[in-house]
DNA sequence: ACAAAAAGTTAGAGATTATAACGCGCGCGG
DNA sequence: CCGCGCGCGTTATAATCTCTAACTTTTTGT
């Protein structure tokens, strides 16, 4: 039942080094802590705590911080290391499936999804394996 | 002009709709709330609360959630505002369709295609829209 | 229709964060 | 030399938010 999913982004602290990147980005823009605090809408000491990793996570302010600093949230969190692109349709029939799906009416799309889900499930169970076929 | 990304996160509530995207992405992978909860390491109800926007922000789990769902944090937060709308679909339901289609057995895939084609054709005729290329 | 699984909801405990206040170090002018 | 402003780090406290557990409702499958 338990799925060891930690293969992708598991090891250690996920948000390690966030403060450092915040500080670097801030200085890069020539802002003081007070400036950033003002831009984000928090107190100056809050910024100081972010940058010293005293506040493990930065709550919802992350998005505003990224906005004020002109960087992406992804960069603040990961440092832009583990860039992983989503998957795109590969074969022609898959693209066709997609096009048809888009052309359907809302209700029909729902129907298609449910049908597909049932069929897929059946296939998975038939194949004997767990749900690994639906991964990545 | 030195704002590569800063322009995106400028307006209003930044984290609106996070829950919806989490739920869509989860379903796209054919996971239950319990599965995602297991993968992230929290309780099932926590996931339910994320998806219903009851827990305003998702704290540091966002990174783990994104990892378990195979999407980027940026997508969960911003919804990938600037995505290309050409052929590559990253919307959750479309990805779901694709994923399920792939998981189906050969015969079932053919069946899905036929069904989709029929429904799509009906929709086109109904909506009076220009008949696009639904072949292939 | 019925049973089971999945999802939604609530109350409460626990943990985390923002704020305010204080201290430290540095540069500058009188 | 001393005081002053400035930028920054740190601590204690109050407020906030999130997670867990248990229950209810909805959906799914036979």
Kindly identify which residue of chain B lies nearest to residue A66, measuring between CA atoms: B6
Q: Which nucleotides of C are covered by protein (CB under 7 A)?
A: 5-10, 16-22
Q: pLDDT band at residue A4, thresholds of 50, 70 and 90? A: very low
Tokens 């090891």 belong to residue? A11
- Cα separations in angstroms, B33 against A27, B26, B77, B134: 42, 8, 19, 35
Instruction: Provide, rounded to the nearest whole percent, the portion of chain B with pLDDT above 70.
Output: 59
Question: B97, B117, B126: which to substitute to probe chain A, counting the most A Cβ within 10 Å?
Answer: B97
- Cα separations in angstroms, A56 against A47, B61, B75: 12, 12, 22
Highest mean pLDDT among A121-125, B1-5, B77-81, B98-102: B98-102
Is residue A129's pLDDT more than 60?
A: no
CA angle, residues A100, A101, A102, in degrees to nearest 5: 90
Q: pLDDT band at residue A20, thresholds of 50, 70 and 90? A: confident
Pick from A72, A74, A68: which is nearest to A46 by CA? A68
Q: How far apart are CA B19 and CA A82, in angstroms?
A: 23
What's the CA–C1' distance between A28 and C27, in Å? Answer: 22
pLDDT at A58: 60
Question: B60, B68, B96: which to substitute to probe chain A, counting the most A Cβ within 10 Å?
Answer: B60
The alpha-helical segments, DSSP class H, found in chain B are 18-28, 33-40, 44-51, 61-69, 73-78, 92-103, 106-127
pLDDT digits (tens, 9 = 90+) for B23-32: 888 887 889 9
- Mean predicted lDDT score pLDDT of chain B: 70
Residues of B in contact with A135 (CB under 8 A): 29
Token output for B132: 């696009």
Which domains does chain B show, CATH number per domain? 1-93 (1.10.260.40)
pLDDT at A134: 40
Torsion angle, alpha carbons of A42, A48, A50, A53, to 10: -160
Q: How far apart are CA B49 and CA B30, in angstroms?
A: 19
Is residue A48's pLDDT more than 80?
A: yes
Residues of A in contact with B101 (CB under 8 A): 94, 97, 116, 120
pLDDT digits (tens, 9 = 90+) for A53-77: 776 566 667 888 888 888 878 788 7
Token output for B62: 């966002």
Phi, psi at residue B53, to the nearest 5°? 55, 30
Q: pLDDT band at residue A2, thresholds of 50, 70 and 90? A: very low
């Amino acid at each position: 039942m338990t799925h060891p999913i930690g293969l992708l982004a598991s090891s250690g602290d996920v948000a390690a080094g966030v403060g450092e990147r915040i500080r670097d980005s801030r200085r890069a823009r020539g802002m003081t802590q007070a400036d950033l605090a003002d831009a984000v809408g928090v107190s100056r000491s809050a910024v100081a705590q972010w940058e010293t990793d005293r506040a493990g996570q930065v709550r919802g302010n992350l998005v505003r911080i990224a906005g004020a600093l002109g960087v992406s949230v992804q960069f603040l969190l990961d440092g832009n290391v583990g860039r992983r692109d989503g998957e795109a349709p590969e074969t022609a029939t898959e693209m066709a499936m997609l096009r048809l799906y888009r052309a359907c009416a809302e209700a029909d799309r729902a129907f298609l999804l449910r049908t597909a889900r049932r069929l897929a499930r059946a296939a998975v169970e038939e194949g004997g394996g767990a749900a690994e076929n639906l991964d990545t």
